[in-house]
Amino acid sequence: DTGVSQDPRHKITKRGQNVTFRCDPISEHNRLYWYRQTLGQGPEFLTYFQNEAQLEKSRLLSDRFSAERPKGSFSTLEIQRTEQGDSAMYLCASSFQRGPSTGELFFGEGSRLTVL
């Protein structure tokens, strides 16, 4: 399977614990995105990388959230001191962007977080 891969698919944690999600994008895709989706809502943008550089962060990304893409390949999204409001599906997407090309996003299956 050469699609976007996310791990774990499901995570249940207690409030106050830290969690980390991993995303492996499609090979050679230079852009990687993180979105969050709660029940009944459309995905909300969190942040994106161009290669290893984090170029934009949403105001939704509080200081408890940190994302990295150390070598411009896989990415991690860490949530520290989780709160019940962090319960959501965390979606990763990747695209190949060159110049003004439209660069469709390819999404993974998501990582579902439940904070008890």
Partner 1 sequence: DAKTTQPPSMDCAEGRAANLPCNHSTISGNEYVYWYRQIHSQGPQYIIHGLKNNETNEMASLIITEDRKSSTLILPHATLRDTAVYYCIVRVGGAQKLVFGQGTRLTINP
Judged by CB under 8 A, which of 1, 28, 63, 104 binds partner 1?
Answer: 104
- Shortest Å distance, C-beta 47 to partner 1: 9
Nearest to 94 by CA among 43, 12, 27, 39: 27
Q: Does 102 bind partner 1 (CB under 8 A)?
A: yes
Kind and range of the H or E element at 113?
Answer: strand 111-115
Q: For partner 1, which is the closer residue by CB, 30 or 80?
A: 30
Judged by beta carbon, residue 80 or residue 96, the one nearer partner 1 is 96
In the list 32, 43, 69, 75, the residue contacting partner 1 (rule: CB under 8 A) is 43
**CA dihedral of 88, 51, 108, 105, whole degrees rounded to 10:** 100
Is 25 among the residues that bind partner 1 (CB under 8 A)?
Answer: no
What is the pairing mode between strands 10-13 and 75-79?
Answer: unpaired
